[in-house]
Chains A and B, each alone.
Chain A
Amino acid sequence: GQNIDQPTEMTATEGAIVQINCTYQTSGFNGLFWYQQHAGEAPTFLSYNVLDGLEEKGRFSSFLSRSKGYSYLLLKELQMKDSASYLCAVRAAGNKLTFGGGTRVLVKP
């Protein structure tokens, strides 16, 4: 079966850093995705990891450890517009994505 866990909610202050953890147990692994979803909107692609290590894209970075079944998304220099849900998703065999429940991040002034 597939199991993906991430915290339900996190709160941080504008300008700070937040790290969202994701652990997974899946039968097969062919990449891990992070998506951002603002309330009432469609998810939008943030990052992709298939090899171990850190991928950096501006204020957002994503890390993967395949041996530990673990990933995190790091958001730096938080802005109010970063308040959203962040979805961790694993692609196993084929192209289907299995999503975690999402982490709602609230950025406070």
Chain B
Amino acid sequence: GAGVSQSPSNKVTEKGKDVELRCDPISGHTALYWYRQSLGQGLEFLIYFQGNSAPDKSGLPSDRFSAERTGGSVSTLTIQRTQQEDSAVYLCASSFLTGTYNEQFFGPGTRLTVL
């Protein structure tokens, strides 16, 4: 079956503009996660969805960042008034919530460059 997909794969924007990143999780996965990865760094947790609600949004860096999920499926991460420090790869992952591992499956990411 299809894996996690994200769009766009690359996004170049000017400082101060808003951007919207999209994630399509694996069908049937209840949980969805957003992470950010700066060059050569580990993954930084941003937000986690269980169904359409977000029980943990503790990783969102500022109120310029928001995310929503609709229909228990697609999620969008919105960054308003982008800054250069927002440049990173934004990774989405999805998983089941019941089972032995509940390992997270990652999408290919969106590389965001803020000029």
Q: Which of A84-109 contact B (CB under 8 A)?
A: 87, 89, 94-102
**Distance between Cα atoms of A87 and B101 in the complex (Å):** 16
How many contacts A-B (CB < 8 Å)? Answer: 55
Size category of the A interface is: 20 to 34
Chain A residues with CB under 8 A of B84: none
Chain B residues with CB under 8 A of A43: 43, 91, 106
B57 to chain A, nearest CB (A): 10
Chain A residues with CB under 8 A of B108: 41-42
Which residue of chain B is the closest to A104 with respect to CB atoms? B40
Contact A100 to B42, CB < 8 A, known contacts A41-B108, A43-B106, A94-B55: yes
A35 to chain B, nearest CB (A): 8
Chain B residues with CB under 8 A of A95: 31, 33, 48, 50, 95, 97, 102
**Distance between Cα atoms of A89 and B44 in the complex (Å):** 11
Chain B residues with CB under 8 A of A89: 43
Which residue of chain A is the closest to B31 with respect to CB atoms? A95
Q: Which of B4, B48, B103 is close to A94, meaning CB atoms less than 8 Å apart?
A: B48
B70 within 8 A of A: no
Point out which of A33, A95, A101 has the most chain B C-beta atoms below 10 A from its C-beta: A95
Residues of B within 8 A of A (CB): 4, 31, 33, 35, 41-45, 48, 50, 55-56, 91, 95, 97, 100-109
